[in-house]
Chains A and B, each alone.
Chain A
Amino acid sequence: MKRNCRRQKTVIRGLFLLCMLILLCSGCARNGRERQAGNGHGVKLTYWCSPNQNEINLAQELVNQWNADHPDIQVILQPIPASQSSEEALLAAIAGKTTPDVCSNMWPGAMDDFTSSGGLVRLDEFPDYFDYMTARIPLDLLESFRAPDGHYYQIPWKTNPIMLMYNVGMFREAGIQKVPLTYSEYLAAAKLITKDLDGDGNYDQWMGYRDIRPIWWQRFFDYFTFYIAASGGKTLFDDSEIIFDNNASVQVFQFFQDIYNNDYYPTTTFQGDNFIAGKLATQFCGPWNVIHVEKFELPGFEFDISPIPVPDDYSGPVYTYGDHKNISIFSTTKYPREAWEFTRYLVTAQADLRLLELCSQIPLRKDLTSNPLYRDYFQQNPKMVKYAEQAPFTRGVDGASDLKEIFDGISQEYEACAIYGRKAPQEAVADAARRASVIIEWNRSR
């Protein structure tokens, strides 16, 4: 009996030790692999691009060219891993220390998280950063991408100004002579466009469509775009103070409330592209959509681009949301100089031309409309000229902490006010600002 008990204990102890040994070995094996990876010949850089197919094609072309020209610095291309958003994938990579050397899909709104975690390389520590950047973009635009600590962690790369895209044929059929430039013109056009075509009591064509789910980033393409336009280029903050509790915001909320009150936009979810199908007369989108519409449009389909409508009493240049995406180097890189060299290559004049040609996106460069290199492209793509001309009048998001939660608060109020009509615009804007101030004050407790 005693011997049995002892044997049992020995077996249990043996099993326990075996488990510990397996765990230890598996941990060592991983370290061994990591060490092996670092022993490669020459420099190897990992480059993450946007998972969008056109951008993958562009990145692949550029990387192939780079690898052919630089046998000593080889670049491995990977699209950003699948996630709800690129920012989430990058934050997860920072937390897991699995970031690439270079990434070209950096959203300025998330930079505060990236820089405060020490995840990015300071680019202004490279002696030629300022010369290179100021040759490319105006100094004031470069300033807008400066981090709160006074340094630069990103190369401003491209912008996608959000503009009004409209179906010329539907406008013509409805007897609309002039593209709507103001809220009242837009609503008047919407009244003519929104129709029940088959007489079943339900509308079959509408003035437009927006995703009504209270998802924070959806508000970039309705509320925020219209707010920037209505306020003459303001954003949510001025010098870290909330400023969106103003008349411009109220006017935008009121405008969208009028739209949904009158059913000018449907509130159901659609399958497929109903702008191309001729069911929607307008949409608010960036230049990337031009290539898409031209690819799938039916014969006879006509569309054009116009600035975002503004309040009737507005005067001055029409600004819009720029949806900027930039390039950064992650601090996990073992080769910052080589990464900087590769990053500069990604924004050469020739690379920017390919960005236009392959992705229909606007590179951030001050000579875009004057450089002869791009002349042929713009002659062949006249619609893109409007986006290129709009580019200087764009605004990005503020580099504030917890921007996501602030936009979430705005989304909630937008839903209650504009979609469901349960709140007056003034009340909804004030509530959104109140919630934002609670978030900001809490953040300042750092």
Chain B
Amino acid sequence: MKKRSQKIRNNDSAGYLMSLPYIIYFCLFIGFPLVFSFILIFHKWNIITPMEWVGLRNFVRLFRDIQFFKSIQNTLKFLIIHIPLQITVALLLAVLLNQKIKARGFFRALYFLPVIVSGVVITLLWRQLYAYDTGLLNTLLTHLGFARIPWITEPEWAMPSIAIMATWKNVGLYVVLFLVGLQGIPRYMYEAAEMDGAKAYQQFFYITLPALNSTMVLVIILSTIGGFSLFIEPFVMTGGGPINSTLSAMLYIYNQAFYFGHMGYAATLGFFFAFIVLAVVLIQKKFVERKD
């Protein structure tokens, strides 16, 4: 008995040793930053001077910070455009790519390609496409007899333009998720519906969509979290302008930390924002998820 427990202990230590790389990774890159950020909430620190205890002052500033709330508003505006657009396009493409079409594998890979390309590269590319005077989109529009669109130079257009670009970049991932969901729907359900005389759109709304509920919840939650993390696109494309219309919450937090050197305040904003994301995701889950 003693020998057996000794053996288990030996196995345990080997197991711990094997998981040591992850434990080190977790401690260095997740645990420590999280705990340190929490400590920073109550401090003022600009990296070069010693940390100063400020109590809840960072929260006092947060609730008076018009620009932070403007950045949240911008992020929500982005989400309102981006999530429905992304779900619609992804679902449409997934349904199409689930059909027996030629070069299906090629198209599936093609739509996934932007997901694996660097966000900075894509944003630089789209900045050229959106250029007011020389951009490809406006050149096309003027050739067709339409007026130029101030894609990223007018406050009203800038965030929708970024949402379109973000949808183009991320849609491939959600196409894959929907494809997995679609392939999990039993074929006999469609056959039974066909026998009952259901038309294609009825099959889609009464079989496909309800059967995709769990995928839909996943897609909505992932796109919400991804949307709240909006950073690279405005950072590279617009710098948050014009008139702060594309200043996302993440960009504002980044600016506070690394542009103005307010590490403590940025940590406070980060935690506050994380709770907003959590609340939104819980609300979405409650309304979208079906237990049946």
Interface residues in chain A, defined as those with a beta carbon under 8 Å from any beta carbon in chain B: 5, 8-9, 12-13, 16, 91, 94-95, 113, 116-119, 213-214, 268, 402, 404-405, 408-409, 412, 415-416, 420, 422, 431, 434-435, 438, 441-442, 445-446
When C-beta atoms are compared, the residue in chain A nearest to B132 turns out to be A268
B241:A415 contact, CB within 8 angstroms = yes
Nearest CB of chain A from residue B239's CB, rounded to whole Å:
7
In the complex, A70→B262 CA distance in Å? 44
Interface of A is mostly: helix
**Chain B positions 150 through 189: 1 when the CB is less than 8 Å from some CB of chain A, otherwise 0:** 0000010000000000000000000000000000000000
Our pick among A91, A117, A434, A442 for the contact of B57 (Cβ within 8 Å) is A442
CA distance A442 to B54 in the complex (A): 9
Distance to closest chain B CB from A267 (angstroms): 9
Contact in complex: A415, B260 (CB < 8 Å): no
Contact of A214 among B20, B64, B241 (CB under 8 A): B241
Q: Which residues of B sit under 8 angstroms from A94, Cβ to Cβ?
A: 48
With A402-B260, A405-B260, A438-B64 in contact, do A415 and B242 touch (Cβ < 8 Å)? Answer: yes
- A445/B241 contact (C-beta < 8 A), A8-B14, A119-B48 known: no
Interface string of B99-115 (1 = CB under 8 A from A): 00000000000000000
B17 touches A446 (CB 8 A): no
Q: Is the CB of B17 within 8 A of A412?
A: no
Asked whether A420 lies within 8 Å of B265 as measured between CB atoms, the reply is: no
B14–A9 touching, CB < 8 Å = yes
Residues from chain A with a CB closer than 8 A to the CB of B82 are: none
B65 at interface, CB cutoff 8 A? yes
Q: Does B192 contact A (CB under 8 A)?
A: no
Q: Could you tell me the distance between the alpha carbons of A16 and B66 in the complex, rounded to whole angstroms?
A: 51
Indicate whether A113 sits within 8 Å of B133 (C-beta atoms), given known contacts A8-B14, A9-B17, A438-B65.
Answer: no
Q: Are A446 and B44 in contact (CB under 8 A)?
A: yes
- Other-chain residue from A8, A116, A213, A422 in contact with B49 (beta carbon distance below 8 A): A116
Mask, B50-87, CB within 8 Å of A = 1, is: 00101001101100111100000000000000000000
Q: Are A213 and B133 closer than 8 Å at their CB atoms? A: no
Does chain A have a CB within 8 A of B47? yes
Question: With a CB–CB cut-off of 8 A, which chain A residues contact B155?
Answer: 420, 422
Whether B244 sits at the interface, judged by CB under 8 Å, is: yes
List the A residue with the shortest CB-CB distance to B241.
A214
A5 and B14 in contact, given A213-B239, A435-B67, A445-B54 (Cβ under 8 angstroms): yes
Given A412-B244, A415-B243, also A91-B48 (CB < 8 A) = yes
For A420, give its contact among B14, B44, B57, B242 (CB under 8 Å): B242
Q: Is B18 in contact with chain A by the CB < 8 A criterion? A: yes
The residue on A at minimum CB distance from B55 is: A445
